[in-house]
């Protein structure tokens, strides 16, 4: 038991505190909010380095600190903190890339009137992400996960006055939440079966062998093991968050957020959370591997989804015109590679690629941000061009990122991590389809990145905005340089010749291999990279785009395919026509039910009440009352007759009196006469 | 603990004082109401500090009331009632703060308001079914007058619909209780007496009695499809009344289901369990879908209340330790969050803009004009979506865990409701506060749009009320044990255990 693990909570707590400061800071407290955010990230980085140091002292150990959260009837919900090389590395990566992006934002968001709020949200995001990373409990991980989603919503919709940004924020939140629904149910199921959500708990954690054994041997209907079902449900969450097919649609739209957000959240960290999650629960996902009779294995599904995503993302990226969207689909594709690696059983290769990708993709996005900042928010690559000479630092660093992403051999980190993935895929004994998808993706990646680089930086400026562009301030270029160094150097941590990263992550010594071993595959992928680069250069570099309105050479060659890819394979439209319409229909049906059936039932009861009331009234008045009424009517009639006599008029009385007198007199006379 | 009955007396006395004070000035009535409501809340908190959680109802007062019928004025509390008493105090205090701007017949308003609060305290304290029923009726009457007298949109209709549903529900309850009472030979209305009496009846009779009492109470808890009074009633009610209505009065129904109906006949409950659970989960998704289509912001909140109360009913129907404790936690959570949402919509927005139509609100840059209200609404919306950090998360999670244990399908459909909740909440937030597409203008320039629209700033009373409620939901969200430590031991009572056993196959 390492007592220092208990202090891991400080790593997410520092940015959370900074978010609190940013939240209460007045709108013009820019220095306060940004200062707090950057200081907190620096603190988190220092602590993360200590944590990593501690974790590397014994790479095979899982240091944990578990505690009770709340009482749950006949048990307690427990949370915990975990430290091992995997999350030690993740902590350092997230806080380092985060810190660089925070610094870059000082420059990028300088003119924004909501600067304070921006840093508040960024800090909230960093806190949530670090919470995901340090969790030793799937529940704590889920808590961070949801808060990451919230921060992402707030940041994508940061410029909510743009309808597109508001819509994108909502789409991102809802789409990822569809995946989270599966994740949540997976957690509930897991808790119900094992009574715990702790990953490591002295032998009782859900990733520890005897619990896993129970899960894998519990067979449900259809021969499915409990661990398969739970693993697939949790994987749903990863599909949503990591932009995997078919829930990838939110990620390109998320580019509506400010560019540092795209770099931090939608390239380097949050979208990697799904990959991290699957690497974290890898023993659970792999628990069903031994069951030959199982109809489906978790990892097979993961590999399939990853392969489809890797290829699809790269293909769509070829036909986009928006600078950030190309990078977004490239992210989708690279995340697919990571999932593919996980699926074929090499979570270490996935994490290796996650780390290198975090650096070079953050670099590319921040480079794009630098371009967009310089070109007054022009991000259509057809309208850019010629930025090579005015923006030398951006161009140089962006090129490093581009070469790292395409996997230019030996020097760049992306080469080594992608090589590790392809190598793992080639050794997978289930199918070689993922390998082929991965190799095809390599060509496409090299192709679309060459296109991007040529269109943006080469040739002559094609719009006034591009013509007036100038290099960004040092506060923005220095983070680019640091990231570029990372994008190169990080690769050497995991080469086959010196597999330091692999040994540390697995906690076992991984033997070093000569580069020549498996050299055939490496040579093939080098050839493929060269093919992609050459094709890109042939189409876009040799003859540079002359005007913004000129046709894309590829569009001219294959207009229908280009349009199909440009429209993102029409998947958004497909969802709108199916899921979207179903939802609208269900909601409309519910409203109709509420208004006409339930409301109508009440209305009917009310009418029925009124009706019975009027019937009663009729019976009452016409029937029961009639006899009584007629009697009383006669009495009243008689009374009326009598009352007519009493007219109250004196002369009437006198007249009557006179008449009576005359009558009486006549009677007397007549009677007297007898 | 012995302080608790004074919440009831204090609120009733406050009602009279507010009426008298209102004849002097509106200001006097307000302060009387605030002091009374806050005083009663402080009493509940003081009682809570000395509360020793345990399985039994701890008797506070027990005196014969109608000796000929065996009715006793028996007040008692356990962890479940204490949770709801604290909620009542909080909601009442916040409600007074959000009614600070009532100028019309202020004394009468607060008198009715405090009478309602007194009735609610009474229900949560009663340990005799007839006394509980009497307080339940006491709570219904002022509700009608509050809506009819101070409400908005279609208030006579809303008030009458609500009153009719309430009385229809309570007459079912009364019929069921009298049946059980008569079956027991008229010994009394204590919960245990009634349970014993019912147990002696035939299975069919028990099923009928249970249905009468449970659905009678569940009507007020907004069970699908007897929920339609809730949105119209909430919308028509003045802000403080909607806060109490959604926040506390709907809990009366759920509390009645848990405290009276379940122990009354475990046999009847076992028969009705699955239908109730399905109605609850259908209600969660269905009300969420209806909320998605509403054009009136208050209707969105009204339907969201029905959806969230579906979780409470599901928790009660599932009837295991996790689900029931989650249901009580959700009652507290929803009481606070719904109060907050209604406060923003009814008081902060409607009293200033005089519209709740999303289409109208959309045209106003409300986030700029009312930034505090916007921030509170976002926080309340996030809490309402069940995000971690707020009380809804542990509550709904606990209910889902419990429901999964009993029937995974219920948990799966209910979880779908969480997704729908995210959809309608985000839609409401974006359209109401962030709908204006007005471009931000460079600093120093005139902002004609902002000058054209000017709203009174958010008052201190509103800020205080909002912060109280936000603090409560965050506090419980971070440390649900504060309440669960009271609730869980109460589930060990023999009466509830019998019901829980009946609900577990």
Residue B125: what pLDDT?
A: 92
Among the partner residues A69, A157, A590, nearest to B290 by beta-carbon distance: A590
Mean local confidence (pLDDT), A430-445: 88
Task: Say whether pLDDT at B86 is over 90.
Answer: yes
Mean pLDDT estimate for chain A: 83
Residue B302 has pLDDT above 80, yes or no: yes
In terms of C-beta density within 10 A (0-12 exposed, 13-18 middle, 19 or more buried), how is residue A555 classed? Answer: middle
The size of the A-B interface in CB pairs under 8 A is 123
Q: What's the gap in Å between the CA of B499 and the closest CA on chain A?
A: 15
Contact B398 A146 (CB under 8 A): no
Q: Which of A162, A174, A181, A590 to mutate to test the interface with B (most CBs of B within 10 A)?
A: A590
Residues B119, B15 contacting (CB under 8 angstroms): no
A621-674 pLDDT, tens per residue?
Answer: 666 666 666 777 777 776 676 666 555 566 666 666 667 666 766 666 666 544
Q: What's the CA gap between A562 and A568, in Å, rounded?
A: 10
B148/A659: higher pLDDT: B148
Across residues A161-188, what is the average pLDDT?
A: 88
pLDDT at B442: 46
Q: State the pLDDT at residue A525.
A: 85
CA dist., res. B424 & res. B437, Å (int): 20
Q: What is the pTM of this model?
A: 0.86
Measured CA to CA, the distance from residue A577 to residue A635 in angstroms comes to: 79
Q: Are A266 and A249 in contact (CB under 8 A)?
A: no
What pLDDT does A574 receive?
Answer: 79
Q: Which of B228, B322, B436 sits opposite A72 (nearest CB)?
A: B322
Are the Cβ atoms of A185 and B412 closer than 8 angstroms? Answer: yes
pLDDT at A645: 58
List of chain A residues whose C-beta atoms are within 8 Å of the C-beta of residue B423:
174, 583
- pLDDT value of residue A643: 65
Q: Is the pLDDT of residue B447 over 50?
A: no
Rounded to an integer, the average pLDDT of B275-296 is: 89
Please tell me the distance from the alpha carbon of residue B112 to that of residue B144, in angstroms, as a whole number: 10
Question: What's the pLDDT at A618?
Answer: 74
At A108 the pLDDT is: 80
Residue A71 and residue B485: Cβ atoms within 8 Å?
Answer: yes
> A589 vs A129, A174, A601, B284, CA distance in Å?
39, 21, 16, 15
Mean pLDDT of A138-142: 92
pLDDT score of B460 more than 90 = no
Q: Per-residue pLDDT for B441 more than 50?
A: no
Chain B residues whose beta carbon lies within 8 Å of the beta carbon of residue A589: 289
Q: What is the pLDDT of residues B339-363, one digit of tens each?
A: 999 998 888 888 888 888 887 887 7
- Could you report the per-residue pLDDT of A470-526, keeping only the tens digit for each? 787 888 888 888 888 888 888 777 777 677 777 777 777 777 776 666 778 888 888
Helix (H, G, I), strand (E, B) or coil at B66: strand
pLDDT digits (tens, 9 = 90+) for A359-372: 888 889 888 888 88
pLDDT of residue A423: 86
> Considering chain A, what percentage of its residues have pLDDT values greater than 90?
14
- Closest alpha carbon within chain A to B225: A598
Ranges B116-130, B192-206, B444-458: which has the least confidence: B444-458
pLDDT of residue B445: 47
Stronger pLDDT, B416 or B228, i.e. the higher one? B416
Answer whether residue A554 shows pLDDT above 60. yes
pLDDT category of residue B451 using cuts at 50, 70 and 90: very low
**Tokens 């059936």 — which residue?**
A597
Structure confidence at residue A335 (pLDDT) = 92
Residue-range domain boundaries for chain B: 5-437+455-502
Q: Cβ–Cβ of A70/B394 closer than 8 Å?
A: yes
* A67-76 pLDDT tens trace: 888 888 777 8
- State whether A188 and B426 contact (CB < 8 Å): no
Q: In this structure, what are the phi and psi dihedrals at residue B237, rounded to the nearest 5 degrees?
A: -70, 150
Rounded distance between C-alpha atoms, residue A142 and residue A139, angstroms: 5
Alpha helices in A427-513 (DSSP H): 433-457, 464-467, 474-489, 500-506
pLDDT digits (tens, 9 = 90+) for A35-49: 888 999 999 999 999
How close is the nearest chain A Cα to the Cα of B448, in Å?
A: 17
Alpha carbon of residue B80 to chain centroid: 14
Q: Is residue A405 a contact partner of residue A445, using CB atoms and an 8 Å limit?
A: yes
Gap between the Cα atoms of A195 and A77, Å rounded: 9
- Cα separation, A582 vs A565, in Å, equals 26
Residue A117, pLDDT score? 86
Contacting residues for A616 by C-beta, under 8 A, at least 6 apart: none
Q: Is the pLDDT of residue B293 over 50?
A: yes
Q: Which of B367, B370, B375, B366 is nearest to B340 (CA)?
A: B375
Flag if B426 and A173 touch (Cβ within 8 Å). Answer: yes
| pLDDT at residue A604, as a whole number | 72
Most confident of A105-109, A473-477, A653-657, B134-138: B134-138
Q: What pLDDT, on the 0 to 100 scale, is given for residue A648? A: 55
Mean pLDDT of A308-326: 88
| Mean pLDDT calculated for residue range B106-113 | 89
Question: What's the pLDDT score for residue A642?
Answer: 62
Q: What is the pLDDT of residue B446?
A: 47
Nearby residues of B99 by Cβ (< 8 Å), 6 or more positions away: B30, B33, B109, B110, B113, B238, B239, B240, B347
Residue A195 has pLDDT above 50, yes or no: yes
Give chain A positions within 8 Å (CB) of B397: 139, 188
């Amino acid at each position: 038991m390492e007592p220092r693990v208990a202090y891991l909570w400080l790593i997410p707590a520092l940015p959370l505190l900074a978010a609190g400061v940013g939240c209460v800071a007045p709108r013009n407290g820019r220095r306060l909010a940004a200062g707090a955010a950057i200081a907190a990230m620096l603190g988190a980085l220092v602590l993360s380095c200590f944590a990593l140091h501690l974790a590397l002292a014994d790479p095979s150990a899982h240091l944990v600190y578990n505690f009770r959260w709340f009482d749950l009837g006949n048990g307690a919900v427990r949370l915990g903190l975990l430290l091992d090389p995997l999350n030690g590395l993740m902590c350092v990566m997230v806080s380092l890339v985060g810190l660089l992006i925070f610094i870059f934002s000082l420059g990028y968001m300088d003119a924004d009137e909501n600067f304070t709020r921006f840093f508040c949200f960024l800090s909230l995001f960093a806190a949530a992400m670090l919470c995901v990373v340090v969790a030793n409990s799937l529940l704590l991980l889920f808590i961070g996960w949801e808060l990451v989603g919230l921060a992402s919503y707030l940041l994508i919709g940061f410029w909510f006055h743009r309808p597109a940004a508001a819509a994108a924020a909502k789409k991102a939140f809802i789409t990822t939440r569809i995946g989270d629904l599966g994740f949540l149910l997976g957690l509930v199921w897991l808790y119900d079966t094992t009574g715990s959500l702790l990953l490591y708990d002295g032998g009782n954690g859900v990733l520890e062998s005897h619990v896993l054994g129970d899960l894998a041997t519990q067979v449900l209907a259809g021969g499915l093991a409990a661990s398969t079902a739970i693993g697939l449900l949790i994987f749903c969450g990863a599909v949503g968050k990591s932009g995997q097919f078919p829930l990838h649609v939110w990620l390109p739209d998320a580019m509506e957020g400010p560019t540092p957000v795209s770099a931090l959240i939608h390239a380097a960290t949050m979208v990697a959370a799904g990959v991290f999650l699957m690497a974290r629960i890898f023993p659970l996902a792999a628990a069903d591997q031994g069951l030959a009779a199982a109809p489906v294995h978790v990892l097979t599904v993961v590999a399939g989804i990853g392969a489809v995503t890797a290829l699809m993302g790269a293909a769509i990226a070829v036909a986009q015109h928006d600078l950030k969207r190309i990078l977004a689909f490239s992210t989708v594709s690279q995340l697919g590679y990571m999932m593919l690696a996980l699926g074929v059983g090499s979570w270490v290769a996935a994490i290796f690629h996650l780390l290198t990708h975090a650096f070079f993709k953050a670099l590319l996005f921040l480079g794009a941000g630098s371009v967009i900042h310089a070109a007054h928010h022009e991000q259509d690559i057809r309208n850019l061009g010629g930025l090579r000479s005015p923006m030398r630092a951006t161009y140089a660093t962006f090129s490093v990122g581009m070469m790292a992403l395409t996997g230019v051999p030996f020097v760049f980190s992306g080469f080594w991590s992608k090589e590790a993935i392809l190598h793992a895929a080639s050794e997978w004994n289930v199918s070689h389809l993922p390998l082929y998808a991965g190799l095809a993706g390599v060509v496409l990646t090299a192709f679309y990145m060459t296109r991007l680089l040529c269109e943006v930086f080469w040739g002559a400026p094609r719009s006034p905005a591009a013509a007036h562009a100038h290099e960004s301030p040092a506060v923005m270029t220095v983070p680019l340089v640091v990231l570029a160094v990372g994008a190169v150097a990080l690769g050497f941590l995991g080469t086959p010749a010196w597999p330091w990263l692999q040994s540390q992550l697995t906690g076992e010594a991984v033997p070093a291999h000569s580069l020549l071993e498996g050299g055939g595959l490496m040579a093939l992928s080098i050839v493929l990279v060269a093919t992609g680069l050459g094709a890109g250069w042939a189409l876009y570099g040799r003859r540079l785009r002359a005007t913004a309105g000129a046709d894309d050479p590829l569009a001219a060659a294959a207009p229908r395919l280009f349009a199909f890819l440009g429209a993102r394979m029409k998947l958004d439209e497909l969802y709108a026509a199916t899921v979207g319409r179903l939802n609208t229909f269900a909601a409309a049906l519910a409203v109709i039910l509420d208004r006409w059936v339930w409301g109508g039932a009440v209305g009917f009861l009310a009418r029925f009440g009124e009706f019975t009331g009027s019937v009663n009234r009729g019976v009452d008045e016409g029937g029961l009352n009639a006899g009584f009424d007629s009697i009383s009517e006669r009495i009243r009639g008689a009374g009326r007759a009598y009352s007519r006599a009493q007219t109250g008029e004196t002369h009437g009385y006198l007249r009557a009196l006179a008449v009576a007198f005359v009558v009486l007199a006549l009677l007397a006379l007549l009677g007297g006469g007898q | 603990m012995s302080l608790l009955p004074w919440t009831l007396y204090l609120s009733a006395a406050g009602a009279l004082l507010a009426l008298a004070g209102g004849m002097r000035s509106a200001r006097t009535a307000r302060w009387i109401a605030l002091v009374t409501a806050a005083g009663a809340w402080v009493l509940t908190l003081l009682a809570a500090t000395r509360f020793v959680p345990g399985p039994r109802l701890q008797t506070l007062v027990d005196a014969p009331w109608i000796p000929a019928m065996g009715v006793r004025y028996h007040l008692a509390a356990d962890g479940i009632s204490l949770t709801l008493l604290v909620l009542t105090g909080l909601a009442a205090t916040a409600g007074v703060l959000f009614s600070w701007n009532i100028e019309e017949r202020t004394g009468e308003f607060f008198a009715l308001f405090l009478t309602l609060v007194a009735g609610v305290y009474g229900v949560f304290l009663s340990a005799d079914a007839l006394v509980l029923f009497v307080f339940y009726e006491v709570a219904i009457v002022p509700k009608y007058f509050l809506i009819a007298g101070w409400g908005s949109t279609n208030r006579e209709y809303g008030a009458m619909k609500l009153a009719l549903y309430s009385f229809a529900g309570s007459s079912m309850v009364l019929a069921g209780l009298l049946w059980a009472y008569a079956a027991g030979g008229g010994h009394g209305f204590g919960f245990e007496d009634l349970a014993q009496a019912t147990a002696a009846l035939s299975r069919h009779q028990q099923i009928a009695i249970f249905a009468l009492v449970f659905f009678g109470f569940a009507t007020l808890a907004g069970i699908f499809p007897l929920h339609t009074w809730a949105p119209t009633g909430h919308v028509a009610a003045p802000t403080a009344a909607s806060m109490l209505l959604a926040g506390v009065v709907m809990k009366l129904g759920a509390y009645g289901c848990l405290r009276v109906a379940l122990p009354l006949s475990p046999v009847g409950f076992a028969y009705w369990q699955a239908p109730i659970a399905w109605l609850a989960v259908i209600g969660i998704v269905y009300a969420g879908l209806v909320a998605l289509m509403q054009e009136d912001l208050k209707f969105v909140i009204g339907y969201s209340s029905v959806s969230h109360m579906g979780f409470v009913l599901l928790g009660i129907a599932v009837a295991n330790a996790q689900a029931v404790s989650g249901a009580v936690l959700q009652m507290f959570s929803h009481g606070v969050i719904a109060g907050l949402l209604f406060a923003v919509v009814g008081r902060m927005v409607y009293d200033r803009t005089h519209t709740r139509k999303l289409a109208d609100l959309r045209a106003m840059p409300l986030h700029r004009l009312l930034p505090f209200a916007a921030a509170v609404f976002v926080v309340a919306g996030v809490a309402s979506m069940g995000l971690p950090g707020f009380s809804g998360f542990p509550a709904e999670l606990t209910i889902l865990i419990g429901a999964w244990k009993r029937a995974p399908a219920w948990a799966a459909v209910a979880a779908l409701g969480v997704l729908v909740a995210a959809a309608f909440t985000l839609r409401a937030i974006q359209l109401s506060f962030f709908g204006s597409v007005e471009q931000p203008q460079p600093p120093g320039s005139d902002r004609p749009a902002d000058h054209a629209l000017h709203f009174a700033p958010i008052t201190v009373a509103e800020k205080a009320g909002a912060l109280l409620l936000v603090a409560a939901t965050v506090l419980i969200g971070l440390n649900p044990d504060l309440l669960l430590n009271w609730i869980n031991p109460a589930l060990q009572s023999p009466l509830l255990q019998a019901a829980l056993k009946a609900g577990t196959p």
